[in-house]
Structure 1
Amino acid sequence: MPVQYLCIIVLLLTLTGCSTPVTDGRLRVVATTGPVGDIVQVIAGERVVLRTLIGPGIDPHTYVATESDLFALQEAQIVFYNGLHLEAGLDRIFKAMNQSGRIPAIAVAEAIPPHLLLYADEGRNAYDPHVWHDPQRWSYAVRAVRDTLIAVDPGGRAIYHRRTERYLADLQSLDAELRAMAARIPPERRILVTAHDAFQYFGQAYGFRVEAVQGISTASEASATAIRSLTELVVTNRIPAIFVETSVSPRTIEAVQSAARAVGYEVRLGGALFSDSLGDPDGPAGTYVGMMRQNMQTIVSALTDM
């Protein structure tokens, strides 16, 4: 085990009692990613003090805990994370926390029934963690957060139930809205080319073929073969636009664009998609619902523009 992880885990398990308590009765909650934190904020509101570790534009696949993250985790009463190895650099920390029995660390995506999960590779060795790109699947994560909050804070049961039902209704409305937006794109144009393979759940939900330069994790390297293959796909299908991502370097997608140009086809960069994080808290993509809506708007605009 790397020394950094060992030090973090030892501190997490030995600093009991060293935290500064919140005296107003609110739960201290840590979430890893924006989509997970958004669930907590919507359901719990002012009943919690929430810290989200991985902010806008930051890649959770390669994220490593900072010293301030360590102390936030040590002070937390509940930790919610995506799971399915999205936050690979934090997995050992969460395992150690659960083994200690002091602080529950809940992998919300693992509440989704296995038959609704997509495999990350042909060998079926792991699941694709990007489940939040389908609101129907993400509703299971919402219920997992609700149930954990009630278990730790039973006095908030009525509030948590009421807010959860409202949020689930919002997700149903969002899903219907996204389906209507996707229907504006001719079927032959519903090919989504992105930097890394984060949109398979989105594609399955809304009728897109999804292709990417990198694999499920951004820790994988983009190969020259992958760039050539995607370039051929783009040129052959006359795809009008391909997409960079807010938390991934644009270098590989720009390489596809340049390779297409070299053979006489001009493909546009259709905009930046929020693949692994939300947007700025004050912007239109600062919430889960807003992020999903903005992604679809970006895709529809780029793939319907002649």
Structure 2
Amino acid sequence: MTIMFLAAAAALAACGTDAGGSPDGKLLVTATTGMIADAAKEIGGDDVEVTALMGAGTDPHLYKASQGDIEKLDRADLVLYNGLHLEGKMAELFEKMEKTKPTVAVAAGIPESELLTAPGAAGEISHDPHIWFDVKLWSIAAGTIRDALIEKDPQNKEKYEERAEAYLNKLVELDAYAKEQIAAIPEQSRVLVTAHDAFGYFGKAYGIEVRGLQGMNTMAEYGSKDVSDLRDFLIENNIKAVFIESSVPHKSIEAVIEGAKSLGHDIKIGGELFSDAMGEEGTEEGSYIGMVKHNVDTIVRALK
């Protein structure tokens, strides 16, 4: 973390919560990712004003807060972030903010037994932060968002609870849709290959094998052996489609495709998936439910 960023974080930590508050009385919420912001809007409704720091195509693993972000966080009455080191470069900032205003990791309520793990740097074990790809786990995160809104704004408790219940019912339907659609893919074809290992929870929840060239963090390095190993896996298992991601450069997965082609095995790009960021605001994929449906439908079309 740079000296300038540390100074900005210290300045933010020194601020109180008096800077927040919307002129029209709405609760000001700043969220890191689009998925969190979308859930906060669904549950908060007209009683909140939600700002997302990270837009379409943004990789949260690599994201660095700008001075404008610092100002948005400073103005907020409530800050919501994913946690589990998804926003790795902002972790120290959130630790400082927790001392002055409600700063909530939406993954905090998920039992550790439900979290996937993988080796991290220096051999330590890290939890997979991509919890939104298991809709049931995202329902738990939505409950944490609801509770955070109620704690900050108890006078609107009943409205938050009503909207949360409606949203959670939509998530039950979404979970059932994903299970039904993925089950329609022939079992031997249920292999999802992407640029980085963001879909572990999705694979576990919906019964599909997942392979990624990079680890679950896009900061992880990959080399020629990783490319050749994945290429060989595709050839040996006669896999015909791999997927690109909206927030990850395509060159890594294209290297795998070219490697397989050089050995006489043609692989197509099955479509673009949304992994660490949703689609553009105003589009179907610009909502959490629409994003998940898009991913499911894209995977099914390519593998079925």
TM over 0.5, yes or no? yes
Letter in 1 for 2:8: I
> Which residue number in structure 2 is paired with residue 135 of structure 1?
135
1:84-99 correspondence runs (5 A): 84-98=84-98
Matched residue, 1:269: 269
Q: 1:23: Cα distance to partner?
A: 2.1
Alpha-carbon separation, structure 2, partners of 1:195 and 1:148: 34
Instruction: Say whether the 8 Å CA contact 2:213–2:226 is kept in structure 1.
Output: yes
- 1:155 matched to 2:155? The reply is yes
CA–CA distance in structure 1, aligned partners of residues 241 and 61 of structure 2: 26
- The structural deviation recorded for 1:14 is 3.1
Counting matched residue pairs gives: 302
Q: Do the aligned partners of 1:5 and 1:92 also contact (CA within 8 Å) in 2? A: no
Alignment of 1:1-306 (within 5 A): 2-16=2-16, 19=19, 21-98=21-98, 100=99, 102-121=100-119, 125-304=125-304
By how many angstroms is 1:17 displaced? 7.5
* Structure 1 gap ranges (5+): none
> CA 1:82 to 1:20, structure 2 compared with 1: closer, same or farther past 3 Å?
closer
CA separation in 2, counterparts of 1:141 and 1:199? 17
SS at the partner of 1:225? helix
Deviation string 1:32-67 (CA, Å, 9 cap, x unpaired) is 001111110000011111110011100000000011
Residues in 2 aligned to 1:7 and 1:191: alpha-carbon distance in whole angstroms: 46
TM normalised by structure 2 equals 0.96
What is the Cα-based RMSD across aligned positions, in Å? 1.4
Superposed displacement of residue 277, structure 1:
0.7
Q: CA deviation at 1:5?
A: 2.7
Contact 1:239 1:267 in 2 (8 A): yes
Q: What TM-score comes out, normalization by structure 1 length?
A: 0.96
Separation in 1, partners of 2:297, 2:43: 26
The superposition leaves residues 120-179 of structure 1 with CA deviations (integer Å, 9 ceiling, x where unpaired) of: 228662200000001001111011011111111011111111111111111110011111
Amino acid aligned to 1:28 = L
1:2, distance to aligned residue in structure 2 (A): 2.8
CA distance in 2, matches of 1:57, 1:15: 31
Query: Percent sequence identity over matched residues?
Result: 41
- Which secondary structure state, in structure 2, belongs to the residue aligned with residue 158 of structure 1? helix
- SS of 1:62's equivalent? coil
AA partner of residue 280 (structure 1): E
Shift of 1:199: 0.2
Shift of 1:13: 2.3
